[in-house]
């Protein structure tokens, strides 16, 4: 494992890009997921069908293929994205489809009577969503969102195929340099595990706080 320690800074830089892609993709995925969930629940018929088609296509195709389409396929239409940008775009689109179903289920889990009561007090539809539905839906959604976040952290390893120097790509470069496999891949596995464990703990604290608040 001496080789891992000697190249620790290089691997930590790869871990930084792994976290960067994860956080950026989750942020935009949250926005996409919420918009799609509201489109399916509150939109007109064409908008609902469009949102449903998006979820069906994204969930029905591999994330690996989606990354290749964004990075290589768009070039055919004159759209060239850098590896890091393409990775974030592809994974944001991917995770947005899964989060939309999480949000939709969480919103539907809030009793309709509470929404009707909010309307009876004079709230608008948006006010009812913001003040009554969203806070309760967040408590329901936080656990599956956490699972999605951890899955996204590990799924960033796929972007190594488009030369993003994230954690796995960093290990592959070191393997090619030293012709030694086990130390680097084992070290990378430990780093993924540590990051996943830390995020799980943070999300657990958020979930406990939301449970106490509502």
pLDDT digits (tens, 9 = 90+) for 99-111: 999 988 888 887 7
Best CA proximity match to 16, nearest among 164, 163, 150: 164
Angle at 83 (CA atoms; ends 167, 76), nearest 5 degrees: 145
DSSP state of 98: H
The structure's pTM equals: 0.86
Phi-psi region of 180 (alpha: psi -120 to 50; beta: other; left: phi over 0): beta
Q: Note the pLDDT of residue 211.
A: 65
For the chain, the domains span 2-213
pLDDT at residue 212 greater than cutoff 70: no
Residue with tokens 């309307």: 119
What fold does the segment set 2-213 form as a domain? Answer: MetI-like fold (1.10.3720)
Chain segment 61-83, per-residue pLDDT in tens: 999 999 999 999 999 999 999 99
> Which pair of structure tokens corresponds to residue 92?
């944001």
CA atoms within 13 A on the CB side of 153: 21
The span from the CA of 103 to the CA of 80, in Å, is 32
Decide if 136 contacts 118 (C-beta within 8 A). Answer: no
Taking residue 41's Cβ as centre, other Cβ atoms within 10 Å add up to 15
């Amino acid at each position: 494992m001496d080789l891992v320690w000697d190249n620790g800074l290089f691997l930590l830089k790869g871990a930084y890009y792994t976290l960067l892609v994860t956080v950026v993709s989750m942020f935009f995925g949250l926005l996409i997921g919420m918009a799609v969930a509201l489109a399916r629940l509150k939109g007109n018929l064409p908008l609902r069908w469009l949102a449903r088609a998006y979820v069906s296509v994204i969930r029905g195709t591999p994330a690996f293929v989606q990354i290749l389409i964004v990075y290589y396929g768009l070039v055919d239409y004159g759209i060239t994205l850098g590896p890091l940008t393409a990775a974030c775009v592809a994974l944001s689109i991917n995770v947005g489809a899964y989060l939309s179903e999480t949000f939709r289920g969480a919103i539907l889990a809030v009793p309709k009577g509470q929404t009707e009561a909010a309307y009876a007090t004079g709230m608008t539809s948006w006010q009812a969503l913001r003040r009554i539905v969203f806070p309760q839906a967040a408590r329901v959604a936080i656990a599956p969102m956490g699972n999605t976040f951890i899955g996204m952290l590990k799924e960033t390893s796929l972007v190594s195929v488009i030369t993003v120097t994230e954690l796995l790509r960093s290990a592959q470069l070191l393997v090619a340099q030293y012709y030694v496999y086990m130390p680097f891949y084992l070290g990378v596995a430990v780093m993924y595990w540590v990051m996943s464990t830390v995020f799980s703990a943070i999300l657990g604290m958020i979930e406990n706080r939301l449970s106490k608040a509502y």
